[in-house]
A and B are shown apart, each in its own frame.
Chain A
Amino acid sequence: MIRFNGISKSFGKTKIIDNLSFEVNEGEFIVLIGPSGCGKTTTLKMINKLIEPDGGSINIDGTNISDVDTVTLRRKIGYVIQQIGLFPNMTVEENICIVPKLLKWDKEKCLERTKELLELVSMPYEDYAKKYPTELSGGQQQRVGVLRALAAQPPIVLMDEPFGALDPLTRDALQDEVKTLQQKLNKTIIFVTHDMEEALKMADTIIFMDKGKILQKASPEEMLRNPAGDIIREFMGKHMTQNNNQDLKAEDFMNVNVVKTTENKQTLECLEIMKRKKVNSIIVTDKENTFKGIITIEDLKNHGKVGVPIGTMLNKEAQLIHKDMGAKEAFDMLIETKRDYLIVVADDDKVIGIINKTSMVKALADALWGDLECMNS
């Protein structure tokens, strides 16, 4: 549907786009991503001729766009930019209907279309049509921005970091809405972002650009599994780790909220801590946090005397593991030893955390469904 053939573009002496060729299929959701200055926005703006290439050609449905009248072309391509793109001097309705009006649709058709579109994003016509952009929240403004781009039913929609200025919750909701709309209306969308999470969520195909070239063009799944370079791996950041469970270490998923005490504490104090923290054993360390042993409720019951330091009745049977131990190994050990928890220590037996069945479940869930970010909380 859209085909870039050997496109190049320089601004002054800097080469922004370097012999770029790729194809976008009809109904495909393409995300252009890459570090700043990689040429992703330039690439996008070439499609509606906001930027003219120095060399090469862009074809849409087989027609070279340089042969098409610029204004006519743009009216057939939806365009969404960051929040500020709504005209402040026009109401929601006027903003949505700009392109249909430019295309000389009659009034009733415009009205009908506006109602229909506002319906799509659950913003009732009666409540919102006559409002001005400044009277809407950021999320609502950008919904209207998206509707404006869809108004004249263009087969192609270009989106230039449309959700960059929104708060995470709103962004998330809008991503879902746009993805749903795209599938429902079968639009071809070219979407620019620098947010890999957004790209992974939205894209059918991700095009990763750097220095004006395509480093990798792949499905999100494929890109996650086989990133074609360090820079992509870096961009994936935390999304990568969840797919490399082999590399996950004990340290990465241990629980750092450890109930600890020092060896000079006495029986009653220990009981008090157990009661308060609702645990049945406590890890005992010296003042430098070096592991000395554990003490359980049974130990206290059997040997504890009022006024005696717990150092005298330490239980040495706890299982220590080094922080670099692999996840699978740690889990196997936890299950085999039938212990409640393993104590994770650093090089000199300093206690840094514990691993119990809860940490295991969280780590597994994480690998399956993404970073839950609740492991240490």
Chain B
Amino acid sequence: MYEFIEFLIKNQNMITASLSVHIQLVVTAVSIGALIAIPIGVILSRYQKVAKGVLGFAGIVQTIPGLVMLGFALMLFGIGKLPAIVVLSVYAILPILTNTYVGITEVDKHYKEAARGIGMTTLQILFKVEIPIALPAIINGIKISTVYIISWATLAALIGAGGLGDLIWTGLATTNDYYILAGAIPAALMAVIIGAIITVIQKLVTPRGLKVRG
């Protein structure tokens, strides 16, 4: 235990650097994922027939092992952060996409009809009624994505993107438990903490009227 703490202190710069790269990877990938997934989710909610196909396809993509995807990305984009971010973004899309789609389609049709009936335009209905009501679901999708990408991002070290994965893989390669732990523990903590932060944000943006149901 003592030796491990000594190890951590000795390598704190390296660990912090890896952590910060890891956070960058996650935040970038999830942001890109959300920027793609939310608009597509909204559009899909308008075309429910197409939606089934698209969501099905996205589900299949999700089942491709991360290593395979990283391999493809490596071939296409070479080594470094870019291929990692591309792959992680792709993985980030599905949970956000599904939640956006479901969140919007589940907005009670009476609200939409009332909104139309009192003279809101389609865009006003989307931004004033549908998205606010679906927002908790959308943020939940972002939360699922983030927690998920934090763990996937450890793989990114394999194609030279850095991050906490670097420590883990080094540890595995040299059978040094301290390296593995120094990568795994911060990654796990990060998942828990960021998950909690998003939950708080979710509560803050949910209007009181949507919390007290019944």
> Which residues of A line the B interface, CB within 8 A?
45, 48, 50, 71-76, 78-79, 81-82, 84-91, 98-99, 102, 132-135, 148-149, 158
**A72 nearest CB neighbor, chain B only:** B119
**Interface-central residue, B207, B209, B214, by most chain A CB under 10 Å:** B209
B119 contacts which chain A residues (CB < 8 A)? 71-76, 99, 102
**Interface-central residue, B114, B116, B121, by most chain A CB under 10 Å:** B114
Report the bound CA distance from A263 to B108 in whole Å: 68
Q: A79-B117, A148-B118 are in contact. Are A90 and B110 (CB under 8 A)?
A: no
**A76 nearest CB neighbor, chain B only:** B119
Q: Which of B121, B207, B214 touches A90 (beta carbons < 8 Å)?
A: B207
B-side interface residues, number (CB < 8 Å): 24
Contact A81 B209 (CB under 8 A): no
> Which residues of B line the A interface, CB within 8 A?
108, 110-111, 113-121, 124, 128-129, 132-133, 207-210, 212-214
Q: A89-B210, A133-B209, A135-B209 are in contact. Are A98 and B111 (CB under 8 A)?
A: no
* A123 vs chain B, min Cβ distance (A): 16
B117 contacts which chain A residues (CB < 8 A)? 45, 48, 50, 74, 79, 81, 158
A86 contacts which chain B residues (CB < 8 A)? 114
B124 contacts which chain A residues (CB < 8 A)? 102
**A44 nearest CB neighbor, chain B only:** B117
* B94 vs chain A, min Cβ distance (A): 26
B212 contacts which chain A residues (CB < 8 A)? 132, 134-135
A85 contacts which chain B residues (CB < 8 A)? 110-111, 113-114
**B132 nearest CB neighbor, chain A only:** A89
Contact A74 B207 (CB under 8 A): no
Q: Which of A76, A88, A149, A158 touches B210 (beta carbons < 8 Å)?
A: A88
**A92 nearest CB neighbor, chain B only:** B209
Contact A87 B114 (CB under 8 A): yes
Q: A88-B133, A102-B119 are in contact. Are A132 and B207 (CB under 8 A)?
A: yes
